[in-house]
Structure 1
Protein backbone atom coordinates (compact mmCIF):
# COMPACT_ATOMS: atom_id res chain seq x y z
CA UNK A 1 0.00 0.00 0.00
CA UNK A 2 2.90 2.31 0.80
CA UNK A 3 4.39 1.78 -2.70
CA UNK A 4 1.02 2.52 -4.24
CA UNK A 5 0.73 5.85 -2.38
CA UNK A 6 4.26 6.77 -3.41
CA UNK A 7 3.42 6.13 -7.04
CA UNK A 8 0.23 8.17 -6.73
CA UNK A 9 2.24 11.05 -5.26
CA UNK A 10 4.75 10.85 -8.14
CA UNK A 11 1.94 10.74 -10.71
CA UNK A 12 0.23 13.72 -9.02
CA UNK A 13 3.47 15.75 -9.14
CA UNK A 14 4.03 14.79 -12.76
CA UNK A 15 0.49 15.84 -13.70
CA UNK A 16 0.92 19.16 -11.90
CA UNK A 17 4.22 19.73 -13.74
CA UNK A 18 2.61 19.03 -17.12
CA UNK A 19 -0.23 21.45 -16.40
CA UNK A 20 2.02 24.27 -15.14
CA UNK A 21 5.09 23.83 -17.39
CA UNK A 22 5.32 26.19 -20.38
CA UNK A 23 4.24 24.69 -23.67
CA UNK A 24 7.11 23.63 -25.89
CA UNK A 25 4.83 23.83 -28.93
CA UNK A 26 4.86 27.64 -28.81
CA UNK A 27 7.63 28.70 -31.15
CA UNK A 28 9.69 31.82 -30.66
CA UNK A 29 8.87 34.69 -33.05
CA UNK A 30 10.60 34.47 -36.43
CA UNK A 31 13.96 36.27 -36.06
CA UNK A 32 12.54 37.90 -32.92
CA UNK A 33 10.07 39.90 -35.07
CA UNK A 34 6.93 41.00 -33.20
CA UNK A 35 5.72 43.71 -35.60
CA UNK A 36 2.22 42.62 -36.61
CA UNK A 37 0.34 43.63 -39.76
CA UNK A 38 -1.93 46.48 -38.66
CA UNK A 39 -1.80 49.97 -40.18
CA UNK A 40 0.96 52.32 -39.01
CA UNK A 41 0.85 56.11 -39.29
CA UNK A 42 2.76 59.16 -38.06
CA UNK A 43 3.50 62.78 -38.91
CA UNK A 44 1.89 65.41 -41.10
CA UNK A 45 2.34 66.77 -44.65
CA UNK A 46 5.65 68.32 -45.61
CA UNK A 47 7.00 70.12 -48.66
CA UNK A 48 10.33 68.23 -48.53
CA UNK A 49 10.48 66.28 -51.82
CA UNK A 50 11.18 62.59 -52.30
CA UNK A 51 14.51 62.12 -54.08
CA UNK A 52 14.77 58.33 -54.45
CA UNK A 53 13.16 54.96 -53.70
CA UNK A 54 15.36 51.90 -53.15
CA UNK A 55 15.23 48.49 -51.51
CA UNK A 56 17.46 45.91 -49.86
CA UNK A 57 17.36 42.25 -48.86
CA UNK A 58 18.13 41.19 -45.30
CA UNK A 59 18.25 37.80 -43.58
CA UNK A 60 14.80 38.15 -41.97
CA UNK A 61 13.03 40.88 -43.97
CA UNK A 62 12.99 42.93 -47.17
CA UNK A 63 13.47 46.69 -46.77
CA UNK A 64 12.01 49.61 -48.75
CA UNK A 65 13.68 53.01 -48.27
CA UNK A 66 12.26 56.33 -49.43
CA UNK A 67 14.85 59.12 -49.46
CA UNK A 68 13.49 62.61 -48.72
CA UNK A 69 15.45 65.81 -49.34
CA UNK A 70 14.81 67.62 -46.07
CA UNK A 71 12.80 66.90 -42.97
CA UNK A 72 10.10 64.50 -44.10
CA UNK A 73 6.50 64.85 -43.10
CA UNK A 74 5.19 61.44 -42.18
CA UNK A 75 3.50 58.32 -43.51
CA UNK A 76 0.58 55.92 -43.45
CA UNK A 77 1.32 52.29 -44.34
CA UNK A 78 -1.39 49.64 -44.42
CA UNK A 79 -2.55 46.48 -46.14
CA UNK A 80 -5.33 47.17 -48.64
CA UNK A 81 -7.30 45.10 -51.13
CA UNK A 82 -6.06 47.45 -53.90
CA UNK A 83 -3.72 50.44 -54.02
CA UNK A 84 -5.23 53.48 -55.74
CA UNK A 85 -3.43 56.16 -57.73
CA UNK A 86 -3.23 59.69 -56.30
CA UNK A 87 -5.63 62.13 -57.95
CA UNK A 88 -7.52 59.72 -60.24
CA UNK A 89 -8.29 56.95 -57.75
CA UNK A 90 -7.63 54.32 -60.45
CA UNK A 91 -6.35 50.96 -59.23
CA UNK A 92 -2.56 50.59 -59.39
CA UNK A 93 -1.90 47.07 -60.73
CA UNK A 94 0.61 45.16 -58.56
CA UNK A 95 2.06 41.67 -58.44
CA UNK A 96 1.81 39.74 -55.18
CA UNK A 97 -0.56 38.00 -52.83
CA UNK A 98 -1.04 41.12 -50.67
CA UNK A 99 -0.64 44.87 -51.15
CA UNK A 100 0.84 47.50 -48.89
CA UNK A 101 -0.23 51.06 -49.60
CA UNK A 102 2.63 53.35 -48.60
CA UNK A 103 1.48 56.97 -48.38
CA UNK A 104 4.42 59.31 -47.92
CA UNK A 105 3.35 62.75 -46.72
CA UNK A 106 5.89 64.39 -49.04
CA UNK A 107 5.71 65.23 -52.79
CA UNK A 108 7.87 64.01 -55.67
CA UNK A 109 8.13 67.60 -56.91
CA UNK A 110 9.37 70.99 -55.70
CA UNK A 111 6.30 72.59 -54.15
CA UNK A 112 7.45 76.16 -54.95
CA UNK A 113 8.25 75.58 -58.64
CA UNK A 114 6.30 72.43 -59.50
CA UNK A 115 9.45 70.93 -61.03
CA UNK A 116 9.85 67.16 -60.68
CA UNK A 117 12.50 66.11 -58.15
CA UNK A 118 11.89 62.36 -58.33
CA UNK A 119 10.95 61.17 -61.80
CA UNK A 120 11.69 57.44 -62.17
CA UNK A 121 12.35 55.93 -65.60
CA UNK A 122 9.69 53.26 -64.99
CA UNK A 123 7.05 54.21 -62.38
CA UNK A 124 5.65 50.64 -62.47
CA UNK A 125 9.00 49.12 -61.45
CA UNK A 126 10.74 51.49 -59.01
CA UNK A 127 12.94 48.67 -57.72
CA UNK A 128 14.09 45.42 -59.31
CA UNK A 129 12.56 42.91 -56.87
CA UNK A 130 13.96 39.78 -58.57
CA UNK A 131 15.43 37.52 -55.90
CA UNK A 132 13.60 39.15 -52.98
CA UNK A 133 11.95 36.77 -50.51
CA UNK A 134 8.94 39.00 -49.81
CA UNK A 135 8.76 41.92 -52.27
CA UNK A 136 7.10 41.29 -55.64
CA UNK A 137 6.77 44.86 -57.00
CA UNK A 138 7.25 48.50 -56.01
CA UNK A 139 5.28 51.03 -58.08
CA UNK A 140 4.61 54.76 -57.96
CA UNK A 141 0.94 55.59 -57.59
CA UNK A 142 1.46 59.32 -58.08
CA UNK A 143 1.98 62.47 -56.10
CA UNK A 144 -0.81 64.97 -55.48
CA UNK A 145 -1.15 67.86 -53.04
CA UNK A 146 2.17 67.08 -51.28
CA UNK A 147 1.28 63.41 -50.77
CA UNK A 148 2.80 60.46 -52.65
CA UNK A 149 1.45 56.93 -52.88
CA UNK A 150 3.65 53.90 -53.47
CA UNK A 151 2.27 50.42 -54.04
CA UNK A 152 4.24 47.56 -52.54
CA UNK A 153 3.22 44.12 -53.77
CA UNK A 154 4.33 41.41 -51.35
CA UNK A 155 4.19 37.61 -51.30
CA UNK A 156 1.52 37.47 -48.57
CA UNK A 157 0.14 39.52 -45.69
CA UNK A 158 3.21 39.49 -43.46
CA UNK A 159 4.35 41.50 -40.42
CA UNK A 160 5.86 44.90 -41.15
CA UNK A 161 7.32 47.89 -39.35
CA UNK A 162 7.77 51.51 -40.41
CA UNK A 163 10.15 54.15 -39.06
CA UNK A 164 12.10 57.22 -40.10
CA UNK A 165 15.81 57.91 -39.88
CA UNK A 166 17.47 61.32 -39.94
CA UNK A 167 20.53 62.02 -42.07
CA UNK A 168 22.85 62.21 -43.66
CA UNK A 169 22.69 65.99 -43.35
CA UNK A 170 19.13 67.28 -43.23
CA UNK A 171 17.76 64.33 -45.22
CA UNK A 172 15.13 61.90 -43.93
CA UNK A 173 14.68 58.25 -44.81
CA UNK A 174 11.35 56.47 -44.49
CA UNK A 175 11.94 52.75 -43.93
CA UNK A 176 9.39 49.94 -44.41
CA UNK A 177 10.58 46.46 -43.37
CA UNK A 178 8.41 43.45 -44.30
CA UNK A 179 9.23 40.09 -42.67
CA UNK A 180 9.86 37.01 -44.78
CA UNK A 181 7.37 35.06 -42.68
CA UNK A 182 5.41 35.08 -39.42
Structure 2
Protein backbone atom coordinates (compact mmCIF):
# COMPACT_ATOMS: atom_id res chain seq x y z
CA UNK A 1 0.00 0.00 0.00
CA UNK A 2 2.88 2.36 0.79
CA UNK A 3 4.21 1.89 -2.75
CA UNK A 4 0.78 2.68 -4.18
CA UNK A 5 0.65 5.93 -2.25
CA UNK A 6 4.10 6.93 -3.46
CA UNK A 7 5.65 6.69 0.00
CA UNK A 8 8.38 4.32 -1.12
CA UNK A 9 10.95 5.61 -3.56
CA UNK A 10 12.61 3.29 -6.04
CA UNK A 11 16.25 2.42 -5.37
CA UNK A 12 19.00 4.48 -7.02
CA UNK A 13 19.40 3.80 -10.70
CA UNK A 14 22.88 2.92 -11.88
CA UNK A 15 23.74 4.39 -15.23
CA UNK A 16 24.76 1.74 -17.70
CA UNK A 17 27.90 2.41 -19.73
CA UNK A 18 27.15 3.58 -23.26
CA UNK A 19 26.71 0.44 -25.40
CA UNK A 20 28.28 -1.52 -22.55
CA UNK A 21 31.65 0.14 -23.26
CA UNK A 22 33.90 0.49 -20.24
CA UNK A 23 36.83 2.24 -21.92
CA UNK A 24 38.53 5.34 -20.58
CA UNK A 25 40.17 8.40 -22.09
CA UNK A 26 43.62 8.08 -20.49
CA UNK A 27 46.75 7.36 -22.54
CA UNK A 28 47.34 3.82 -23.73
CA UNK A 29 50.79 2.57 -24.73
CA UNK A 30 52.93 -0.46 -25.44
CA UNK A 31 56.69 0.22 -25.75
CA UNK A 32 57.50 -2.73 -28.07
CA UNK A 33 59.06 -1.92 -31.46
CA UNK A 34 57.74 -3.48 -34.65
CA UNK A 35 59.72 -4.73 -37.63
CA UNK A 36 56.57 -4.30 -39.73
CA UNK A 37 55.98 -1.25 -41.91
CA UNK A 38 52.85 0.92 -42.12
CA UNK A 39 51.16 0.28 -45.48
CA UNK A 40 47.68 1.85 -45.15
CA UNK A 41 45.34 3.87 -42.94
CA UNK A 42 41.57 3.51 -43.09
CA UNK A 43 38.47 4.28 -41.05
CA UNK A 44 35.02 2.84 -40.47
CA UNK A 45 31.78 3.56 -38.65
CA UNK A 46 30.20 1.19 -36.15
CA UNK A 47 27.05 1.39 -34.05
CA UNK A 48 28.77 2.53 -30.84
CA UNK A 49 32.12 3.88 -32.06
CA UNK A 50 34.20 5.12 -34.98
CA UNK A 51 37.26 3.03 -35.89
CA UNK A 52 40.69 3.91 -37.27
CA UNK A 53 42.87 1.07 -38.58
CA UNK A 54 46.59 1.23 -39.37
CA UNK A 55 47.55 -1.68 -41.62
CA UNK A 56 51.05 -3.16 -41.27
CA UNK A 57 52.87 -5.65 -43.49
CA UNK A 58 53.97 -7.81 -40.55
CA UNK A 59 53.20 -8.36 -36.88
CA UNK A 60 52.05 -5.23 -35.04
CA UNK A 61 53.89 -4.22 -31.91
CA UNK A 62 54.03 -1.05 -29.84
CA UNK A 63 52.02 2.15 -29.93
CA UNK A 64 51.19 5.29 -27.99
CA UNK A 65 47.70 6.80 -28.18
CA UNK A 66 46.73 9.81 -26.09
CA UNK A 67 44.72 12.99 -25.98
CA UNK A 68 46.91 16.08 -26.46
CA UNK A 69 46.27 19.83 -26.54
CA UNK A 70 47.70 19.88 -30.09
CA UNK A 71 49.01 17.18 -32.44
CA UNK A 72 52.58 17.81 -33.64
CA UNK A 73 54.68 16.53 -36.55
CA UNK A 74 57.35 13.91 -35.95
CA UNK A 75 60.85 15.35 -36.01
CA UNK A 76 59.97 19.04 -36.37
CA UNK A 77 57.38 19.41 -33.61
CA UNK A 78 55.33 21.72 -35.85
CA UNK A 79 51.59 21.76 -35.06
CA UNK A 80 49.11 19.83 -37.22
CA UNK A 81 45.82 21.76 -37.57
CA UNK A 82 42.82 19.48 -37.01
CA UNK A 83 39.06 19.90 -36.95
CA UNK A 84 37.34 18.88 -33.73
CA UNK A 85 37.10 19.80 -30.08
CA UNK A 86 39.64 17.19 -28.87
CA UNK A 87 42.78 15.73 -30.43
CA UNK A 88 44.42 12.33 -30.28
CA UNK A 89 48.07 11.79 -31.19
CA UNK A 90 48.53 8.21 -32.45
CA UNK A 91 52.01 6.80 -32.78
CA UNK A 92 52.67 3.34 -34.21
CA UNK A 93 56.10 1.99 -33.26
CA UNK A 94 56.65 1.12 -36.91
CA UNK A 95 58.01 3.18 -39.81
CA UNK A 96 56.18 4.01 -43.03
CA UNK A 97 59.35 3.41 -45.06
CA UNK A 98 61.57 0.42 -45.86
CA UNK A 99 65.25 -0.16 -45.04
CA UNK A 100 66.20 1.81 -48.16
CA UNK A 101 64.13 4.81 -47.08
CA UNK A 102 61.43 4.18 -49.71
CA UNK A 103 57.93 5.02 -48.52
CA UNK A 104 55.62 2.07 -47.76
CA UNK A 105 52.67 4.41 -47.18
CA UNK A 106 52.46 7.75 -48.93
CA UNK A 107 49.03 9.37 -48.50
CA UNK A 108 47.65 11.36 -51.43
CA UNK A 109 46.38 14.06 -49.07
CA UNK A 110 48.25 14.27 -45.75
CA UNK A 111 45.58 16.50 -44.22
CA UNK A 112 42.75 14.02 -45.02
CA UNK A 113 43.91 10.41 -44.80
CA UNK A 114 40.31 9.20 -44.87
CA UNK A 115 37.01 10.87 -45.61
CA UNK A 116 35.29 10.99 -42.22
CA UNK A 117 32.45 13.29 -43.29
CA UNK A 118 29.26 12.06 -41.64
CA UNK A 119 31.05 10.15 -38.88
CA UNK A 120 29.56 10.58 -35.43
CA UNK A 121 32.86 11.05 -33.55
CA UNK A 122 35.74 11.52 -36.02
CA UNK A 123 36.28 14.96 -37.53
CA UNK A 124 39.64 14.56 -39.32
CA UNK A 125 42.52 12.10 -39.72
CA UNK A 126 45.85 13.69 -40.67
CA UNK A 127 49.42 12.55 -41.28
CA UNK A 128 51.96 13.72 -38.68
CA UNK A 129 54.96 11.93 -40.21
CA UNK A 130 57.22 8.92 -39.99
CA UNK A 131 60.55 9.54 -38.31
CA UNK A 132 63.19 7.30 -36.72
CA UNK A 133 61.04 4.16 -36.79
CA UNK A 134 57.80 5.74 -35.56
CA UNK A 135 54.73 6.80 -37.55
CA UNK A 136 52.32 9.39 -36.17
CA UNK A 137 48.81 10.46 -37.07
CA UNK A 138 46.52 13.13 -35.71
CA UNK A 139 42.88 12.38 -35.04
CA UNK A 140 40.44 15.24 -34.50
CA UNK A 141 37.32 14.12 -32.63
CA UNK A 142 34.02 15.69 -31.56
CA UNK A 143 34.91 15.65 -27.83
CA UNK A 144 37.20 13.91 -25.36
CA UNK A 145 35.56 10.51 -25.48
CA UNK A 146 36.60 7.04 -24.29
CA UNK A 147 38.76 4.96 -26.61
CA UNK A 148 40.47 1.59 -26.80
CA UNK A 149 43.54 0.35 -28.68
CA UNK A 150 44.35 -3.20 -29.72
CA UNK A 151 46.10 -5.20 -32.43
CA UNK A 152 44.74 -7.88 -34.74
CA UNK A 153 46.63 -10.45 -36.77
CA UNK A 154 46.04 -10.72 -40.50
CA UNK A 155 45.12 -10.63 -43.19
CA UNK A 156 47.87 -13.01 -44.27
CA UNK A 157 51.19 -12.18 -42.63
CA UNK A 158 50.09 -8.59 -41.96
CA UNK A 159 48.42 -7.09 -38.92
CA UNK A 160 46.34 -4.11 -37.82
CA UNK A 161 46.61 -1.52 -35.09
CA UNK A 162 43.03 -0.56 -34.20
CA UNK A 163 41.78 2.55 -32.39
CA UNK A 164 38.08 2.76 -31.52
CA UNK A 165 36.63 6.02 -30.17
CA UNK A 166 33.17 5.83 -28.58
CA UNK A 167 30.31 8.02 -29.77
CA UNK A 168 29.34 8.91 -26.17
CA UNK A 169 30.37 8.29 -22.56
Q: Equivalent residue for 1:125? A: 112
* Secondary structure in structure 1 of the residue aligned to 2:118: coil
Divergent runs of 4+, >6 A = none
Q: TM-score, normalised by structure 1?
A: 0.86
Indicate yes or no: 2:12 matched with 1:23. Answer: yes
Q: Spell out, residue by residue over 1:12-70, the C-alpha distance to the aligned partner (whole angstroms, 9 max, x if none).
A: xx98x75xx7412x321110011010000114222311000000001110000000001
Select 2:158's aligned residue among 161, 166, 171: 171
Mapped to 1, the partners of 2:11 and 2:68 lie a distance apart of 37
Distance 2:32 2:43 in 1: 24
Task: State which of 82, 85, 94 in structure 2 corresponds to 1:106.
Answer: 94
Partner deviation per Cα, 1:62-113 (whole Å, 9 max, x = no partner):
0000000011221110000001100000011110000011011001100x21
* Structure 2 match to 1:81: 69
Equivalent residue number for residue 55 of structure 1: 43
The answer for the alignment partner of 1:96 in structure 2 is 84
Aligned length: 167
CA distance in 2, matches of 1:22, 1:171: 51
2:15 and 2:117 map into 1 onto residues whose CA distance is 30
CA distance in 2, matches of 1:130, 1:22: 43
Aligned positions of 1:137-152 closer than 5 A: 137-152=124-139
1:133 & 1:154 partners in 2: Cα distance?
A: 9
How far residue 136 of structure 1 moved from its aligned partner, in angstroms, is: 0.2
User: TM-score scaled to structure 2, two decimals?
Assistant: 0.93
Report the structure number with the largest CA radius of gyration: 1
- Residue 109 of structure 2 aligns to a residue whose secondary structure is coil
Q: Considering only aligned residues, what root-mean-square deviation do their CA atoms show, in Å? A: 1.8
Q: Is the 8 A contact 1:47 1:146 kept in 2?
A: no
* 3-state secondary structure, aligned to 1:91: coil
- The answer to which of 44-53 and 57-66 deviates more is 44-53
